[in-house]
Amino acid sequence: MQATPPSTPPEKVHCYPCPSCGAHLLFEPRDGFLSCPYCGHKEAIPESADQVQERSFEQYLQIRPEQLEQLAANALEVRCQSCGATVTFTPPEVAGQCDFCGVQIVAQPKSADPILAPEGVLPFRFTQREAETGLRQWLQSRWFAPNALKQFARPDAINGVYLPFWTYDAYTTSYYAGERGEHYYTSETYSERDSQGREVTRTRQVRHTRWSPATGEVARWFDDVLVAATTSLPQKRLEALEPWDLTELKPYDPAFLSGFRAQRYQVDLAQGFEHVKQFAAGVIKGDVRQAIGGDEQRIHNIATHYSGVTFKHLLLPVYAGAYRFNQKVFQIVVNGRTGEIQGDRPYSFWKIALLVGTIALILVIVVGVLSSAKG
């Protein structure tokens, strides 16, 4: 039986055959061209005149099917049976090992489900080889790392994958109620004994706070608040990869995906906005304190109204890999723009025990030599 090809109109199929040899053109981070890995043919990705658009949050909260698209017309996706991450890719890229938990993915890739398509992409600038070289140096500088972890140094232990992010813009108006505290001082007399033991009366300044009610309104623009839409990597690790040069964002084009994977978002648009609110609450609290003024502030209530909320779905480039050791998953992630490496730093029990043991032995010898010299 023959498999029927997906019924996509041919002009919409995003694959990039090399005009000289017919192989697949892949995105080349070094120069940003589509390049043939076999004959070296290069092609520029057409410069889009479009700006990376922001979309209205409200219009996308209840998503309609026509608002969803595939990352590329021939995109496949596969879900990791172990950690649940779903990655999209285009042939000839294959599923292989999960970039986030290290298991071999056994599921058959299927045609990718449509998603809220990304508006922007930050293309890879570091190549896989450069990332691997950086990783080898990083691992060598970690003497205590278990030998098993050094398997990360093997080629293809990390893979290029675009991580999903949301960014939001919003205007906030916040009404607050609180109290302004102003310091004042009074003189107080007290008695104590002097050095000769005589009782003497002295005065001192004592600080008090006078509280008065304060209510009002503060407003501010939040611009491009970045929220990770992946839960496959810990938040602290993602933050440590920053900063991202978001001024270099390109309008999304399936050509950037050629030779790489992209993770499907796990945090949806509405959940992402809850992170924005949490972040904004901290900033607004600072604004309210400043507006209340005085020496101390009490905040009883802040009611914030959001308006003009817009968002972008972005793909940001990393090389990621995971390795299992002692039933634990060790993740390594490399910023595909800056080469910054973040990863677990496990310590080998035996290597530390050996070091401690060696130091103890040296001490015993030194003490032995010293005491025999005395005696």
Q: Among residues 6, 12, 17, 21, which is the contact residue for Zn ion, using CB under 5 A?
A: 21
In this structure, how many other beta carbons lie within 10 angstroms of the beta carbon of residue 113? 12
| Interaction residues for Zn ion, span 97-126 (CB under 5 A) | 98, 100-101
Nearer to Zn ion, 21 or 363 (CB): 21
Q: Which range binds Zn ion by CB under 5 A, 39-47, 206-214, 289-297, 359-367?
A: 39-47
150 binds Zn ion (CB under 5 A): no
Nearer to Zn ion, 57 or 100 (CB): 100
What does residue 57 show for φ and ψ, rounded to 5 degrees? -60, -45
Comparing CA positions, the residue from 157, 179, 169, 164 lying closest to residue 330 is 157
Q: How far is the CB of 240 from Zn ion (least distance, A)?
A: 21
293: Cβ–Cβ under 8 A, 6 or more apart, which residues?
A: 180, 214
Q: How far is the CB of 327 from Zn ion (least distance, A)?
A: 15
How many amino acids of this chain bind Zn ion (CB under 5 A)? 14
Q: How many CA atoms lie within 13 A of 77 on its CB side?
A: 19
Q: How far is the CB of 86 from Zn ion (least distance, A)?
A: 10
83 binds Zn ion (CB under 5 A): yes
Q: Among residues 6, 39, 42, 366, which is the contact residue for Zn ion, using CB under 5 A?
A: 39
Distance CA 148, CA 151 (A): 6
214 binds Zn ion (CB under 5 A): no
Per-residue b or e along 47-59, where b marks 16 or more CB atoms closer than 10 Å to that residue's CB: eeeeebebbebee
Q: How far is the CB of 134 from Zn ion (least distance, A)?
A: 23
Q: Which range binds Zn ion by CB under 5 A, 5-13, 33-41, 220-228, 359-367?
A: 33-41
Note whether 262 and 94 are within 8 A (CB).
no
Q: Which two tokens stand for residue 126?
A: 């570091």
Note whether 172 and 219 are within 8 A (CB).
yes
Amino acid at 43: E
Helices marked H in the chain = 57-61, 128-140, 235-240, 269-292, 349-374
Per-residue b or e along 228-240, where b marks 16 or more CB atoms closer than 10 Å to that residue's CB: bbbebbeeeebee
Q: Which range binds Zn ion by CB under 5 A, 17-25, 48-56, 139-147, 169-177?
A: 17-25
79 binds Zn ion (CB under 5 A): no
82 binds Zn ion (CB under 5 A): yes
| Integer CA distances (angstroms), 180 to 217, 292, 294, in order | 15, 6, 6
Q: Among residues 41, 142, 250, 277, which is the contact residue for Zn ion, using CB under 5 A?
A: 41
CA 273 to chain centre: 16
Nearer to Zn ion, 101 or 122 (CB): 101
Distance CA 12, CA 71 (A): 12
Q: How far is the CB of 67 from Zn ion (least distance, A)?
A: 28
233 binds Zn ion (CB under 5 A): no
Q: Which range binds Zn ion by CB under 5 A, 76-84, 195-203, 248-256, 342-350?
A: 76-84
36 binds Zn ion (CB under 5 A): yes
Q: Which range binds Zn ion by CB under 5 A, 75-83, 187-195, 207-215, 281-289?
A: 75-83
Q: Which range binds Zn ion by CB under 5 A, 22-30, 112-120, 154-162, 367-375?
A: 22-30
The footprint of Zn ion (CB under 5 A) covers 18, 20-21, 23, 36, 38-39, 41, 80, 82-83, 98, 100-101
